[in-house]
Each structure stands twice: as structure tokens, then as C-alpha cells.
Structure 1
């Protein structure tokens, strides 16, 4: 059964620049279905700021044929060993909204163990270049909502030149996440996400876009000196 993985690692600037130009994860990597190499962004940061585009902070979101394929990659491939020095979480697919053609959506859908189980959300899109200013106008308030929400334990955005954008968030419970989506939270300006989605439905920002929801399987490593971001999961 295929799995997804989400990786964070900091690498030297020169290596990061090279990787932007030449993807370090070949498409023919054994057991790989698809991978997106991106650079991290701080959710809600100013458009022109040092925290908006964090070139050295690498994000990889990937789908694998199975966990053995991921294990082999992390142990045997050069860039895989680099990723193994960072942090990653393994993910089992739950549901999808929208479509992103490069990933192979599994027929099997996982279910959470209970109402208080953690859940992880990933969005990824190919932007329409002329819609980027409009996307930023409506999107940054949502970024701040997710970033500051008490229900998240880790949240960030990422990008890949010229037009790929993505977000990632770990939620303590599925209910807290769905309440945020529908604007039911007791936080300032709770309807920011719902308003932005209405604007997207009115006129799309993207060529293709999907929101994926996952059940976390396991978590490994550390990120910026912290670990165990996913509640109730043991570190590998």
C-alpha cells in the first residue's frame, strides 16, 4: 500500500541553490511515485522579508509505493541520507479535495483511531502567474489563521519556482481543523479561511489544486531543536 512522507531539513545555501535548478530526487528513483522538492516559507510573513523565502530550509513531499521504498531511499541514496538527518512524518491517505495529477490517489482510505486523534493537512497547487497577487491578498490572512491557531502543533508553507505553492499543518484533532475551515473557532476573525475559499470558487487562483488529509503513521528526527510534533505518536 502506498504511503506519503513529508520531510524538513536544513542544508547549505550552495547545495540548496543547486537543488532548485536540478531536482535531487530523480523521477526514476526506485519505489517513488512522485516527489515535490520545495523551499520553506513562514506562514503569514511579509511578502518581502527574509522569513518569506527560506532557501536553505528544504521541504520534500513525496508518495512511495510502500514504506520499504522510503526506508531504502533514506538509507541508500545520497540525498535520502541528507533527508534522514532532518525530520519527517509518514502519512496514510484519508481524503482528497480537488486534483493534483502527479500523485496517485489510493483507493483505500484510512480512518482515524478516534475523535481525539491527530490529523495532518497538505495543500499543493500550480499557480496561475497572473493570479499570484490576488492569491497573496486573500491567502496571507488564512496563513496567519493557521499559523496562530491553538489547534496546530506545526504549520508552514513552501514554494518551488516558478509557480508551485504548498502548505502543511499538524492538528491536534480533526474537529479543530474542520472548525477552522468552516470558521467556527473562537479565534480572531475566524472566517478568514471560509471567505478565501469563496473567492477561490468565484475565480480560481490555480491551474490545479488539491487539499489532502492524512492519518500520521510515524514521526522521526527533529526540526529546529524540537521533536514529537504529532501528539500521541512515538518517535522512530
Structure 2
């Protein structure tokens, strides 16, 4: 059964720069369906801030034919063994909104045990270059909403050259995530997400956009000295 994985790792500066233009995971990798190599960004940070794009901190979002393919890559390749030294989570697909062409969304959907189970959300989009200023205007308030929400244990954004933007967030419960998305969170300006989605519907920021929801099935390693971001693990 197909699975997804999300990896965070710190790389030497030159290796990270090279990875921005040439994905370190070959498209010919056995059992790989697709992967995106991206530079980590701090959610909600000012556009010109040094914390906006964190070169050297790398996020990789990948889909595999099965767990055996992922295990073999991590164990038998040089870059895979480097990934093991970082942090990553294995993910079972639950739900999708929108589309991102290269990922193959499985027909079989996993389920959470209940809506108080932890959940992982990934958004990924291919930007229209001329829409970037408007996207930033509407997107940064949503980034801050997710970043500051008490229901998240880890949240970040990422950028892939030339026009990929993505977010990743781990939520303590699915209910807290859906309350945020629907504007019901008990936080200042809770409607930020809904307003941004309405603006996207009015005039799309992206060539293509997908929101993917997952059940975490395994967490490994550490990120910035921390681990156990998934509450149930």
C-alpha cells in the first residue's frame, strides 16, 4: 500500500543550494512515486526577514509505492542514510482537496480512530508568478494563525524552486485542525483561513493546489533537538 513520508534535515550550505536546483532523490529511485525537495521557511515571518527562507534546512515530501521501498531507500543509498539522521514521519493518506499532478492519490483511504486523534496536514501548490504579492498578502495571516495555534505541535512552510510553495503541520487532534479551518478556533481573528480560501476561489493564486490530510503511522529522529511531535507516539 502506498505511503507518504515527510523529512526534515539540516544540510551543509552548498549541498542545500545544489538541492534547490537538482532533487537529491532521483526520479528513477525504485519504488518512488514522486518527491519534492524544498527549503524550510518560518511560518508568518516577514518576507525580507532572514528567517523567511532558511537555507540549509531542508524539507522533503515524498510518496512511495510501499514501506519496503522507503526502507530500502533509507538503508541502501547515501542520501537515504543522511535522511535517517534527521527527523521524519510516515503518513497514511486520509483525504484530499484539490490536485497536485505528480502525486498519485490512492483510492484506498485510511481513517482516524476518532476526531481527537492526531493528524498531519500538508498543502502544496504551484504558484502563478504574477499572483505572488496577492498570495503573500492573504497567506501570511493564515501562516500566523497556524503557527500560533495551541493545537499544533510542529508547523512550517517551505519553498521549492521555481514556484512550489508548501506548508506542513502536525495537529494534536483532527477537531482542532478542522475548527481552525472553519473559523471556529478560540483565537484572535479566527476567520483568517476562511477569508483566504474565499479569495482563492475568487481569483486563484495557483496553477494547481492540493490540501492533503494524513494519519501519522511512525515518527523517527529529532528536529532541532526535539522529538515526539506526534502526541500518541
TM norm structure 1: 0.98
Counterpart in the other structure of 2:208: 208
Cα offset, 1:78, TM superposition: 1.0
Counterpart in the other structure of 1:188: 188
Count of residue pairs the alignment pairs up: 233
Counterpart in the other structure of 1:7: 7
Counterpart in the other structure of 2:128: 128
Say what the alpha-carbon RMSD is for the aligned residues: 0.6
| 2:80 is equivalent to residue 116 of structure 1 | no
Counterpart in the other structure of 2:23: 23
Cα offset, 1:133, TM superposition: 0.3
Counterpart in the other structure of 2:95: 95
Q: Which runs of 5+ in 1 are unaligned?
A: none
Counterpart in the other structure of 1:153: 153
Counterpart in the other structure of 1:198: 198
Cα offset, 1:31, TM superposition: 0.6
Name which of structure 1's ranges 45-54 and 19-28 shifts more when overlaid on structure 2: 19-28
Per-residue CA distance 1:77-98 (angstroms, 9 max, x = gap): 1111111110000000001000
TM norm structure 2: 0.99
SS of 2:44's partner is coil
Q: How far apart, in 1, do the equivalents of 2:82 and 2:54 lie?
A: 17
Q: Which runs of 5+ in 2 are unaligned?
A: none
Q: How far apart, in 2, do the equivalents of 1:213 and 1:165 lie?
A: 17
| 2:42 is equivalent to residue 48 of structure 1 | no
List structure 1 runs of 4+ shifted beyond 2 angstroms.
Answer: none
Q: How far apart, in 2, do the equivalents of 1:23 and 1:215 lie?
A: 26
Q: How far apart, in 1, do the equivalents of 2:15 and 2:64 lie?
A: 24
Per-residue CA distance 1:159-210 (angstroms, 9 max, x = gap): 0111100000000111100000010011010000000000000000000000
SS of 2:199's partner is helix
Q: Is the 8 A contact 2:155 2:167 kept in 1?
A: yes
Q: How far apart, in 2, do the equivalents of 1:140 and 1:210 lie?
A: 18
Per-residue CA distance 1:82-121 (angstroms, 9 max, x = gap): 1111000000000100000100000010010123210000
SS of 2:23's partner is coil
Q: How far apart, in 2, do the equivalents of 1:207 and 1:82 lie?
A: 33
Q: Is the 8 A contact 2:21 2:161 kept in 1?
A: no
Counterpart in the other structure of 2:62: 62
Cα offset, 1:125, TM superposition: 0.2
